[in-house]
Amino acid sequence: MPDTILEVKNLKACFHLDEGQLRAVDGVSFAIQREETLGVIGESGCGKSVTALSILRLLMPPGKIEGGEILYYSDDNQVTDLAKLHPNGEQIRKIRGKEIAMIFQEPMASLSPVHTIGAQMMEFILLHNPGMKKNEAQEIALDMLNKVGVSNPALRLQNYPHQLSGGMCQRVMIATALSCNPRLLICDEPTTALDVTVQAQIIDLMEELQAEMGMSMLYITHDLGVIAEVADEVAVMYLGKIVEKCDVKTIFKKPMHPYTQRLMQSVPKLGSRQEMLDTIEGTVPIPIGMGAQCGFYSRCSHAEEGSCSRRSPALVEVEPGHFVRCFKYGSVEEGYLESANQI
Amino acid sequence: MGSYIFNRFCYMLISIVLMSVVAFIIIQLPPGDYLSSYIMQLQASGERVDPAQVESLRRQYGLDLPMYQRYFVWVKNMLRGDFGRSFDWNMPVRTLIASRIPMTVAVSLVTMLFTYLVAIPFGIYSAVKQYSIVDYIVTVLGFVGLAMPNFLLALFLMIFFQRVFGFSPGGLFSPEYLNAPWSFARFVDMLKHLPVPIIVIGASGMASLMRVMRSSLLDEIKMKYVTNARAKGLKERVLLFRYPVRVALNPILSSIGWMFPQILSGATITAIVLNLPTVGALMYRALLSQDMYLAGTCVLFLTVFTLVGTFISDILLVCADPRIRFD
């Protein structure tokens, strides 16, 4: 039995804008193992969410998947390339919610304002369990709300989203997502809109539930603290590319890519007397019509004129299990390996 | 909920009372009264008018009283069902209005129904298929409908119907059925006459409703809860109608409040052009001839319709949108 549940290979997603083609995800590859959590980290606009949306084929025009494979390994060892499915077709709809569930960033906005919590939860339970009676679905909904620590669940089923707090709404979202026993849960910054104490509660809850239900998780965040807590494996994204990938301990102990190192430095340390936060200067460039160069070139303190500005480095295994995309560690130009193999 | 409806109802009653004062003042505003225009008419036809006779007429109609007293007399009589006498038609206002109210309401309601039935589906379609050919066609037609004056559209359609179907769509009945008792043939005859007024009266409302539906749905489609529902595996069509369309209908519901009076007043000019037996045309004539009781009653009726429409749309909105609080 293969241990991989999802394998993304060289995924490319673009937004076709009037200004040109925006390459939001530019050749991303990763794999998620059974019952493990892959954390994806990066600042706003680096393509984390687009990656997540692409997996469930939720990317809407002008966004489009341009290439690559998204291989999903189902329970009976069948492999489906999600990237090839029709985005509204029956096959992907059977996977959405049932096999792969997703939790979004803003819990309040993710629930319909004019339907009760109960109606929304039960709709999805009934959708993936054809033939189930309404009261059975309600039992499951109640049970799940109990599990995620919602007080007075029977009353909550009658409530509308605006009557609940943000943390409560996110618990409802989690309960809904887990009510069909998904094998993979994609979390797109589920705690970003919540305050810190609630954030901690939600993360603890999700870890507990993951262990209990034996799910895999793809956890997207820009919060290093959250990554440290939930992830087994970490991928750092910058400008639509994975720049570093390794297990969670290594990334904190020995970050190698200049971007990862700067990310680590920008976290304020407890007890240190620091007047100014150490930040990364500049912003993520907009990836429209960029030639071959390292994406981090404009903000990197190690950048070298010539190599970094003219060639784009490939992701290479610098140490066992530790992949870095930087010329500093002897990376070769992207595409070089492929062409070498062909010869 | 119950207390909310009761409160809204009380506000509506207060508004009606206030509006009756305004209506009364407005019809009193033009210089002179019915008698002065009556006298002018007589003089114009060369008759001599005896000032004493005028004075007695003035007293008889209560036109010599101060304005506030006349208002209270008017209201008191109305509460007893006596809306005064039309000087112009020389018959009770009540009889005049009663003969036209059913037709007015019927034409308005059918027009509204037609307006919503056309505007909502096309609004949804042009939002879902934004920038498609159908969207462009619907949008252009909508703007034409919005921009074209009612009476012009009425004239065009009259000519069109005359040429193509060979009958004049003026009025609600053909001459031979005008005073005939109700029969199946008369009903069919009415149905034949209805499309033109409905299209003419409904055109601008339909166009604006379509735009409201389109833009409101375009906003909702981009919402997170739609993506979330899609991520749960819901079919596109089910998803569309159960979530964003359902939310986007709220502004449409609130439009009932202003649609109803818009249709009634829009019907005035159309009614004159198309010779429809509705209140609008009656009011227009009454205002011109300073037929004060008739004009006042018409204005008041239109006001009451507006307020009732608003009341109904308020209640519908509360039922449709749980976010509206009662307290």
- pLDDT tens digits, residue range B31-43? 766 677 777 777 7
Give the residue from A98, A112, A159, A163 with the most B CB atoms within 10 Å of its CB, the best one to mutate.
A112
Cβ(A302)–Cβ(A313) under 8 Å? no
Residue of A60, A94, A110, A188 to mutate, interface with B, max B Cβ within 10 Å: A110
Mean pLDDT value of segment B15-36:
81
Number of Cβ within a 10 Å radius of residue A127: 21
Contact A160 B322 (CB under 8 A): yes
Whether B233 sits inside 8 A of A111 (CB atoms) is: no
Render A248-267 in DSSP notation, one character per residue. Answer: HHHHHH---SHHHHHHHHTS
Mean pLDDT, rounded, of chain B: 84
User: Residue A95: closest CA among chain B residues belongs to which residue?
Assistant: B233
Q: Is the CB of A58 less than 8 angstroms away from the CB of B227? A: yes
Enter the tokens of residue A25: 């995800």
Residues of chain A found within 8 Å of residue B234, distances taken between Cβ atoms: 93, 123-124, 127
Residue of A nearest to B244 (CA): A112
**Domain architecture of chain A: domains with CATH:** 1-89+215-268+279-343 (3.40.50.300)
pLDDT value of residue A37:
93
pLDDT of residue A2: 52
Span B47-75, pLDDT tens digits = 777 778 778 777 776 777 788 888 888 88
Cα separations (Å) of B244 from B124, B191, B215, B247? 10, 36, 12, 5
CA B205, CA A175: separation in Å to the nearest integer? 45
Residue B273's H or E segment, with its range, is helix B244-274
Rounded to the nearest angstrom, the minimum Cα separation between A47 and chain B is: 17
A6/A88: higher pLDDT: A6
CB atoms within 10 A of CB B22: 12
3-state DSSP of A118-137: HHHHHHHHHHHCCCCCHHHH
CA distances from B118 to A9, A126, A238, B78 (A): 48, 33, 49, 39
What residues does CATH 1.10.3720.10 cover in chain B? Answer: 100-278+310-320
Residue B321 three-state SS = coil
In this complex, the residue of B224, B232, B235 whose CB is nearest that of residue A97 is B232
Mean pLDDT over A33-61 rounds to 89
Check residue B202 and give its pLDDT.
85
pLDDT of residue A302: 79
pLDDT digits (tens, 9 = 90+) for A86-134: 888 888 998 998 899 999 888 889 999 999 999 999 999 999 988 899 9
Q: Smallest CA–CA separation between A126 and chain B, in Å?
A: 11
Beta strands A184-188; A100-103: pairing state: parallel
Q: How would residue A1 be classed by pLDDT, with cut points 50, 70 and 90? A: very low
Rounded distance, CA A57 to CA A70, Å? 10
Residue of B nearest to A57 (CA): B231
B237 lies within 8 A of chain A by CB: no
Share above pLDDT 70 across residues of chain B, in percent, rounded to a whole number: 97
pLDDT at B213: 93
Domain B100-278+310-320, what fold?
A: MetI-like fold (1.10.3720)
pLDDT in tens, A237-295: 988 889 999 999 999 998 888 888 888 888 877 777 777 777 777 777 787 777 777 88
**pLDDT for the residue B327:** 52
> Whole-angstrom Cα distance, residue B236 to residue B243?
10
Give yes or no for a contact between B274 and B197, defined as CB atoms under 8 angstroms apart: yes
CA-to-CA distance for A217 and A136, rounded, in angstroms?
27
CA distances A276 to A222, A267, A299, Å, are: 20, 11, 19
pLDDT band at A216 (very low <50, low <70, confident <90, very high): very high
What percentage of chain B has pLDDT greater than the value 90? 16
Per-residue pLDDT of A161-182, as tens digits, reads 999 988 889 889 989 998 888 9
How many CB pairs below 8 A link A and B? 75
User: Quick check: B247 and A112 CB within 8 A?
Assistant: yes
Q: What would the pLDDT profile of B114-149 be if each residue is shown by its tens digit? A: 999 999 999 999 999 988 999 999 889 888 888 888
